[in-house]
Amino acid sequence: MSTATRRVAIVTGGSRGIGRAVAERLAAEGQAVVIAYARNDAEADAAVKGILANGGAAVAVKADVADEKAVEALFEVAEREFGGVDVVVHAAGIMLVGPLADFGLEDLDRMHRTNIRGTFVVDREAVRRVRPGGAIINFSTSVTKLATPGYTAYAASKGAVDAMTLILARELRGRDVTVNAVAPGPTATDLFLDGKDEATVERLAKASPMERLGRPNDIADLVAFLAGPGRWVNGQVVYANGGAI
């Protein structure tokens, strides 16, 4: 595919977990991918090398998604390296859990800075740069519907993502750019499994009629649809949890 016709995707949080599965999937479909990551240079480098080894095009950029200058620079790399931006998948986020009564305000502020401000900053830059025919895909969570105790602060931050997504889709009337959010349920990533005993993992797996945890590729399948052929899906929060709710 020539650079003139190749679509270009930015994937935040693209060095590991679901974000990495998304980056690899979009690259396999022929999109050039810019992987944004927060800290781990080795993981980002490995993600890029894996895509290049399979014939794809990718670069990695370290960026704090809540820092508007860093996000501007991220989009400028995409435009300089690949000619523009068509798809923005904002998968970066943090999850801190605990009962509301015991939850520290510093943790609340930290999570809201990444999950709410980060989404706002990334989406704002996406609105300014994504080309017609493009897609903006945010990441929410099924916990907003599952109402799982201990997830008050996290669910609140993702509820804000839902609101931004639904309104932004309508603000982009006439632009031919779709805006949706993907809301995964329990998904077998290293971060999700860390600290959970076997009984807890089994219970969470059984919550779905499919009787298993989601896999990163399950979520990547949905993102690829919304980023490509799913043009008539717009202004939606799409729950990807195997039927748990």
153-to-4, 6, 92 alpha-carbon distances in Å: 44, 39, 17
User: HEC string of the chain?
Assistant: CCCCCCCEEEEECCCCHHHHHHHHHHHHCCCEEEEEECCCHHHHHHHHHHHHHCCCCEEEEECCCCCHHHHHHHHHHHHHHHCCCCEEEECCCCCCCCCHHHCCHHHHHHHHHHHHHHHHHHHHHHHHHCCCCCEEEEECCCHHHHCCCCCHHHHHHHHHHHHHHHHHHHHCCCCCCEEEEEEECCECCHHHHCCCCHHHHHHHHHCCCCCCCECHHHHHHHHHHHHCCCCCCCCCEEEECCCCC
Best CA proximity match to 157, nearest among 214, 230, 96, 210? 96
Q: Which of 37, 151, 154, 239 is catalytic?
A: 154
Known active-site residue 37: no
Q: What is the set of active-site residues?
A: 154
